[in-house]
Amino acid sequence: MSASDPTPLSKIPNFDPRAVPVRAVDSHLPPVPADRLTAEAMRQRFLAPPVWQPEVRAEPRFVQRQPAFAAVLVPVVMRPEPTLLLTQRTTQLRNHSGQIAFPGGRVDAQDAGVTDAALREAEEEVGLARDQVEVLGTLPTYTTGTAFVITPVVGLVRPDFTLMPNPAEVAEAFEVPLRFLLDPSHHHRHAHEFEGVTREWFSMPWPGTHEGGQGGTERFIWGATAGMLRNLYRFMAA
């Protein structure tokens, strides 16, 4: 560990984000209408995007190192009620261990581009075959505090898949209703000071009190994943 990289990536975050108080909930914003969440409506939105602005583009930097380019798949499973496929990362991973994430990772030299990287990573991490995915397009890049420049690749997924999560990377794969994630009444705002820098972020705990989810296993969606979902909300609501 060099002086230019004082904080090991494996130690970030070194706080429990669940313990940071909620500062506000964006219940004043409208949810994305259900008729925009159909497969055809999403296709048309990516074919003719509205005028919009991403809300979250970059986190405060926690490490000084060269940016690493990455891609994630934002897999919308086209069930009667569309869901989003997410993963719980294993606790032994060096980067962002134990967190909830989209399938994805670094863009490798052999990848044809960010879309190819996202599809490859989804297949490697959870066994989602690329022929199950209809790629719609990409959202603006999101830069994490650990200097990953992530391109979210949005795709529609046929629901007849069988997943095979890689136990070295993925503790579990699960689905959350898309309408829940694109309803700002479930978007919680937080702020926390870390090494002299105030970091602000969203969280979207699932199940939430709005869904009567007491008694289930809470999925604490936060940080970069929640930030990219907030941008997806802005794109779909514009």
**Residues 125, 160: Cα–Cα separation, whole Å:** 18
**Residues 43, 154: Cα–Cα separation, whole Å:** 10
Token digits for 61? 């930097």
**Residues 201, 189: Cα–Cα separation, whole Å:** 6
- pLDDT for the residue numbered 49: 97
Specify which residues 75 forms β-bridges with: 155
- pLDDT for the residue numbered 17: 84
| Mean local confidence (pLDDT), 163-187 | 94
* Share above pLDDT 90 across residues of the chain, in percent, rounded to a whole number: 69
Q: Which of 161, 205, 163, 173 has its CA nearest to residue 86? A: 173
Helix (H, G, I), strand (E, B) or coil at 59: coil
Q: What is the 8-class DSSP label of residue 7?
A: S
**Residues 29, 184: Cα–Cα separation, whole Å:** 6
pTM as predicted:
0.88
pLDDT score of 199 more than 90: no
Split at pLDDT 50, 70, 90, the class of 150 is very high
Q: How many CB atoms lie within 10 A of CB 67?
A: 12
Q: Which of 219, 215, 123 has its CA nearest to residue 177? A: 219
Token digits for 209? 């009190």
- pLDDT for the residue numbered 59: 86
What is the rounded average pLDDT for all residues in the chain? Answer: 87
Split at pLDDT 50, 70, 90, the class of 198 is confident
Q: What is the pLDDT of residues 65-106, one digit of tens each?
A: 789 999 999 999 999 999 999 999 875 545 444 689 999 999
